[in-house]
Structure formats: C-alpha cells, structure tokens
Amino acid sequence: HNGITRPQGYTVSWHANPAVEAHHFGQSHPMKPWRLVLTKELVLAYGMHHAMDLYLSRAATFEEMADFHTEDYLDFLRQVIPADMEAAEQSERMAKYNFGDDCPIFDGLYNYCSLYSGGTVDAARKLVNNQADIAINWSGGLHHAKKTEASGFCYVNDVVLGILQLLRFHPRVMYIDIDVHHGDGVEQAFWSTDRVLTVSFHKFDRDNFFPGTGSLDSTGPSHPSNPGAHHALNVPLNDGIEDGDYLQLFKDIIGSCVETYQPGAIVLQCGADSLGCDRLGCFSLNVTGHGSCVAYVKTLGLPLLVVGGGGYTPRNVSRAWAHETSILIDAADKIDPNIPETVTFRNHFGPDYSLFPPLSEMRKIENKNSKQYLATLVSTIREQLRYMQG
C-alpha cells in the first residue's frame, strides 16, 4: 500500500454498509447514495483503510430509532411501498408525514434508513466505550428529519440518535453542522436542553432557501427559565463565501464555543453541499477549505463523531470525504493529489484527475459576505455565548 499506517496514539473507526449505496431516490432526485461508492473507492485506492478499524454497520432496530421518532411514524416508514405514492387511501398519511418530491418512497426505504442510522449509533457507541477516539459514518448526517416527519431528503435523524447515545456518558455534547443547509432537525430535537449546544453554518434566505430557519437571533427558547435558552447558535451566510473567510469564521466561533461550553464530545456534520460547484449549494469552498474545518475540529482533541450529510455533485462529495478521512487518520500529507490510476470509476474525476480541483473558480459565484458582515457575526455570537454562561 501507499505507506499509510495506523496513526500513533489514537483510534479511528469507519462505519459503512455497502447495502446503503444501492438505494435510489428516483431518476432526477439530487440525493445519490451512490456518492458513497465513489468515496469508498478513493479511500481504498489511497490505502486509508489500513489506518482505521472497519465495521460493517448493522441496521438500527425499530426501538433504537424510537429513541427519537414516534412509533406511528416508524410504523408508516416500515410498511409504506412505492405504489402508495399514487394511492389515494395513503395520501392523507403521506401528507401528514411529509412524503413527496423531496422525500419520495423508494424500494428499500426502511432498510436504507435503518442502515445509515445503525452506522451512526454504532459509531457513537464506539466512542462512549472508548474503542475509538474518532468514528466516521459518511452515510449519516441526515439532519432535517423530525420526530414525526420526513424533511429535506431525510427520514430518520441519525444525528439525533447518535447524540442521544453520547448523552448517556457525556454531560454536554456539541454539534457542529457545515452542510450548506440549516441543521433544523437536530436543533429542534435539543431545543429545550442545555446538554447539547447546536451550531449550524448555512446559507440563510428565509423565503428562497431551504429550510428557511436558522437566523442569527434564533438561539433557543425565548423564556430564560427554559434550560435550552441560548443553546442553539446559527451562523447565517450569503452566497459565495470562500475558504479563507469561512475558515476564519469557523475557528473564531467554534473556538469560543468550546472554550465556553466545555463539551465532552463533538458531533461534526460534514455536508459537502457547501463546496463550490455543488448542484444545490451556493458557497465557494474548495475541498481544502472544507477539510480545514474538519482539521480544526480534530485539533480540539475531543471524542469526535463525524457524519456526512448533503452533497449533490458526487465526484466532489467523494473528493471532500476522502480528503477528510485522510485528515482524521493524520495522513493528509501522504496523499497524492493526483487520483491513483487504480481507482474504480476514475473517469468521474476527469479531466483533471485531481483530488483538489479549483472548485471556487469553476463556477464563480460573487461573494456576498462582506468583511463587516462576518465581523458582526463573530461579535454577535460571542455576545450570545456570554448569555449562555449566565
């Protein structure tokens, strides 16, 4: 292999199940579980698997998913079939649970949900059992799902299930979300507790960008006696933010949060739709810029659960997640930026065949985040953290 060996001093676990990758949301749907195949091909071709403990994710049980979701909702998820999409007698429940264009019913839906959720629950348990210091499930990160409702391509909120596992051992858990969309489902699940601090960076435009929540002043329940007050933080951004500004903002905010909140563990959602050139996104991050956020979180030295999320240009999603895997095993410096000849589906990475194509220049989006705006975000959030402290 390429000289990649186990990092000294800490353990990284990798959680995946190839059965997840075979599911199809439908022809024109932007969510492609197949991007996980490309990610895995890169990770294997670079020899990164030599530096991790590899686990085949098991399916989360109904009871495990019922730690967050209602039995009603899970019963429906378990029994619904694609033909019900058209059937009139199911249409009321379809509407009630928000199935439709964004969240279609496809073959094997329940299997898909229980497998990606099982991966995140397993990963969290590795951390609490001290069998891993960093645990990775790229098939998870489905942050929009609600207790009784599917939303934004998400059906079961594996992030919430993972955090609930960590809360069995850690008094405080911090959740960080760099998907271009607001992590609304996770925020809502822990809205009324001070045991989870949620921090989402996202494009915010109330009327024109999904889900429309996550404004700067949305920091938890408004009543100060509610323990969740000031325990949700939101970093609303405009189009076109670039690597340097994003990383500075990320470090300033996450550094202050960790210093103030002192979490026992961190969950990092690495949605890759915040990259430049994403089919649904509007930021201008490069693979290196996105990865630098992961590298920064790693330096904090806390038990770390890493999940995927959005990402709609599969070749770039896999570049980012493979690069981030190399960062997490401390092998980024051993990775050849030219994608190895041996990668299956190598044609997807042409014409450059680089792990780091210049995404920010390939589809230039004007940066609508002024230095002044970014400085205001940092100072406002530091002020909100002072309220959190009481």
The residue ranges that bind ligand TV1 (CB under 6 A) are: 28-30, 101-102, 142-144, 152-154, 179, 181, 210, 271, 273, 280, 309-310
Minimum distance of ligand TV1 from residue 229's CB (angstroms): 26
Nearest residue to 141 via CA among 131, 132, 149, 152: 152
| 49 counts as catalytic | no
User: DSSP letters of 40-104?
Assistant: HHHHHHTTGGGGSEEEEPPPPPHHHHTTTS-HHHHHHHHH--GGGGT-GGGHHHHHHTT-SSSS-
One of 179, 184, 187, 243 touching Zn ion (CB under 5 A): 179
Nearer to ligand TV1, 118 or 309 (CB): 309
Residue 141 binding Zn ion, by CB under 5 A:
no
Residue 231 binding Ca ion, by CB under 5 A:
no
Order of strands across the sheet that contains 265-269: 53-56, 12-16, 134-137, 304-307, 265-269, 173-177, 196-203, 232-237
The token duo for 309 is 């999320």
Catalytic residue among 15, 170, 182, 202: 182
Nearer to ligand TV1, 152 or 228 (CB): 152
Alpha-carbon torsion 190, 192, 193, 198, what sign?
Answer: positive
Q: Which residues between 153 and 182 bind Ca ion (CB under 5 A)?
A: 177, 179
- State how far the Cα of 122 lies from the Cα of 140, in Å rounded to an integer: 11
Residue 177 binding Zn ion, by CB under 5 A:
no
Partner from Ca ion, Zn ion, ligand TV1, none binding residue 154, C-beta < 5-8 Å depending on class: ligand TV1
Residue 17 binding Ca ion, by CB under 5 A:
no
Nearer to ligand TV1, 73 or 153 (CB): 153
Q: Which amino acid is at 123?
A: A
- State how far the Cα of 28 lies from the Cα of 176, in Å rounded to an integer: 30
One of 184, 243, 273, 278 touching Zn ion (CB under 5 A): 273
Minimum distance of Zn ion from residue 198's CB (angstroms): 15
Peptide bond into 337 cis (omega under 30): no
- State how far the Cα of 120 lies from the Cα of 141, in Å rounded to an integer: 8
- Residues in contact with Ca ion by the rule CB under 5 A: 177, 179, 183, 200, 202
- Residues in contact with Zn ion by the rule CB under 5 A: 179, 181, 271, 273, 310
Residues with a known catalytic role: 182
